[in-house]
Amino acid sequence: MKCPFCGNLDDKVVDSREGKEGEVIRRRRECVSCGRRFTSYERIDEIPYMVVKKDGTRERFERQKVIAGLLKACEKRPVSVSELESVANKVEATLQERPDKEISTEEIGTSEVFGFESALRVPAFAERSEYVPDIDPAYCFHRETTLAILSGFMHNRRVLIQGYHGTGKSTHIEQVAARLNWPCVRLNLDSNVTRVDLIGKDAIVLEQGLQVTRFRPGILAWALERPVALVFDEYDAGRPDVMFVIQQVLELDGRLTLLDQSRVIQPHPDFRLFGTANTVGLGDATGLYFGTQQLNQGQMDRWSIVATLNYLSMEEEVDMVLANVPSRQTEQGRELVSSMVTLAGLTRTAFAAGEIATVMSPRTVITWLQNLEIFDDIILSFQYAFLNKSDLEDRSVIAELFQRCLGEDLPESLASTVTSGS
């Protein structure tokens, strides 16, 4: 502390006393340079931290509002109050470490929320709407994929997530949106989705007792004019005519021309577009995804970011499966799930080697464990979750892998033994 007499910055404390009610600490200091003494007072910083909302208005940061918002977001979810308080503590600690006393709502809860360090500051909404997905507190975020999705929200990039089935591509986007309070709408691009579904059509409506014709916008036209993240699920299964409609909004300006309306829709500043696909637009080379097709490479070129989300590591997958079935979060349960995940990994290896035609996804493992909770039979649960979906010729191989990981024989393995013995 600077000496008021000689300006020297070096001093020593010779006496400290608390003020009334412990709100102030009085310290008697002695300058090392001139030897003169002076008094300083230490108080708690009571300057309020202000939250700058999207409309520019300011309000005082209140920890209880953060907790209240988290409680509302996690309704009907197995999240304890202590976990929510921990999140609120992280937010408050972030504020206290900032040199400025104001923080935009767009900066609250970014890198701390997703479980890894990042310098990205992603825009977020202060209030949740009916289109914001529910938060799954047990969800495990893949770092590279999450960064790609966050960059889409932050810089309005068109992001396509590619990977095997069951890896959680669409869910990944939804869970990022849920934590940003960003409205998110998911559309499965099956063969029944047409241009009309995306653009809209004229419809007869009743107004003041009269039948009149009004234009009813499709899902794409509707979303473009709103702060919504639109997710095209199973993007590589869409019809060619639908693809060319989407191609318009993949452009940098993202405008959509409505020919029958003779108008151009300008996208909302907070509109975002994402897609998920099992292939990268080159067609199905594995035989797993019948119905997918080759995509126009000019269109694929318009996707700003293409990220790949494959299966997690064994430990990460075990944690994810256990998070979905909390009752199995014991030492014995973890050992069982580890064996189940090992079996899933072996099926993926066997598929890559051409030995079987189907693979176990993380979703299948979760379903298997959930079935086990219902039937309390490891073999029956496995049959319902995976074995009955596989080819008859593959079941002997799967039965061998099952016996290797779980130490039990499937009926298919016993039948195979009897057949070979006869």
Tens of pLDDT, residues 319-370: 888 988 889 999 999 999 999 999 999 998 888 788 888 888 888 999 999 9
Domain presence at residue 114: no
Domain presence at residue 324: yes
Domain limits at 408? 314-421
**For residue 209, how many C-alpha atoms fall within 13 Å in the half-sphere facing its CB?**
0
- Asked if residue 379 and residue 318 are part of one domain, the reply reads yes
> What does the pLDDT average to over 126-135?
88
Angle in degrees, 0-180, between the axes of helices 395-406 and 331-352, rounded to the nearest 10: 150
Of residues 207 and 338, more confidence is placed in 338
Cβ-count burial of 72 within 10 angstroms (0-12 exposed, 13-18 middle, 19+ buried)?
exposed
Domain presence at residue 78: yes
| Cα–Cα distance for residue pair 286/125, rounded to 1 Å | 41
β pairing state of 229-233 and 272-277? parallel
Domain presence at residue 3: no
- Asked if residue 37 and residue 50 are part of one domain, the reply reads no
Name the average pLDDT for the chain: 80
Note the pLDDT tens digit of each residue in 263-281. Answer: 788 899 899 999 998 876 5
Domain presence at residue 209: yes
pLDDT at 94 over 50: yes
- Asked if residue 163 and residue 64 are part of one domain, the reply reads no
Of residues 383 and 95, more confidence is placed in 383
* Percent of all residues in the chain with a pLDDT value above 90, rounded to a whole number: 23
Note the pLDDT tens digit of each residue in 215-272. Answer: 788 889 899 999 999 999 888 877 888 888 888 888 777 788 887 667 788 899 899 9
Of residues 196 and 419, more confidence is placed in 196
Contact 120, 112 (CB under 8 A): no
| The predicted structure's pLDDT at residue 341 | 94
Q: Which of 12-16, 84-88, 263-267, 270-274: highest mean pLDDT?
A: 270-274
| The predicted structure's pLDDT at residue 108 | 45
| Overall domain count for the chain | 4
| The predicted structure's pLDDT at residue 159 | 93
Q: Which of 44-48, 122-126, 278-282, 360-364: highest mean pLDDT?
A: 360-364
**Full 3-state SS string of the chain:** CCCCCCCCCCEEEEEEEECHHHCEEEEEEEECCCCCEEEEEEECCCCCCEEECCCCCEEECCHHHHHHHHHHHCCCCCCCHHHHHHHHHHHHHHHHHCCCCEEEHHHCCCCCCCCCCCCCCCCCCCCCCCCCCCCCCCCCCCHHHHHHHHHHHHHCCCEEEECCCCCCHHHHHHHHHHHCCCCEEEEECCCCCCHHHHHEEEEEEEECCEEEEEEEECHHHHHHCCCCEEEEECHHHCCHHHHHHHHHHHCCCCCEEECCCCEEECCCCCCEEEEEECCCCECCCCCCCCCCCECCHHHHCCCCEEEECCCCCHHHHHHHHHHHCHHHCCHHHHHHHHHHHHHHHHHHHHHHCCCCCCCCCHHHHHHHHHHHHHHCCHHHHHHHHCHHHCCHHHHHHHHHHHHHHHCCCCHHHHHHHHHHHC
pLDDT at 193 over 80: yes
Least confident of 4-13, 114-123, 186-195: 114-123
Domain presence at residue 1: no
| The predicted structure's pLDDT at residue 54 | 56
We report the CATH number of the domain holding residue 212 as: 3.40.50.300
27 vs 21, 23, 34, 88, CA distance in Å?
A: 16, 13, 18, 34
| The predicted structure's pLDDT at residue 298 | 67
- Calculate the CA dihedral of residues 231, 302, 306, 293 and round it to 10 degrees: 70
Band (418; pLDDT cuts 50, 70, 90): very low
| The predicted structure's pLDDT at residue 112 | 62
Note the pLDDT tens digit of each residue in 153-187. Answer: 988 899 999 887 777 888 899 999 998 899 999 99
- Asked if residue 296 and residue 268 are part of one domain, the reply reads yes
| The predicted structure's pLDDT at residue 56 | 61
Confirm whether pTM is higher than 0.75.
Answer: no
- Asked if residue 135 and residue 278 are part of one domain, the reply reads yes
- Asked if residue 185 and residue 91 are part of one domain, the reply reads no
Residue 360: name the closest of 405, 330, 327, 407 by CA. 405
Band (286; pLDDT cuts 50, 70, 90): low
82 vs 69, 94, 323, CA distance in Å?
A: 15, 18, 17
| The predicted structure's pLDDT at residue 359 | 83
- Asked if residue 366 and residue 288 are part of one domain, the reply reads no
- Asked if residue 304 and residue 197 are part of one domain, the reply reads yes
- Asked if residue 363 and residue 243 are part of one domain, the reply reads no
- Asked if residue 385 and residue 363 are part of one domain, the reply reads yes
Band (53; pLDDT cuts 50, 70, 90): low
| Cα–Cα distance for residue pair 80/300, rounded to 1 Å | 43
- Asked if residue 21 and residue 98 are part of one domain, the reply reads no
Contact 273, 250 (CB under 8 A): yes
Least confident of 214-228, 291-305, 407-421: 407-421
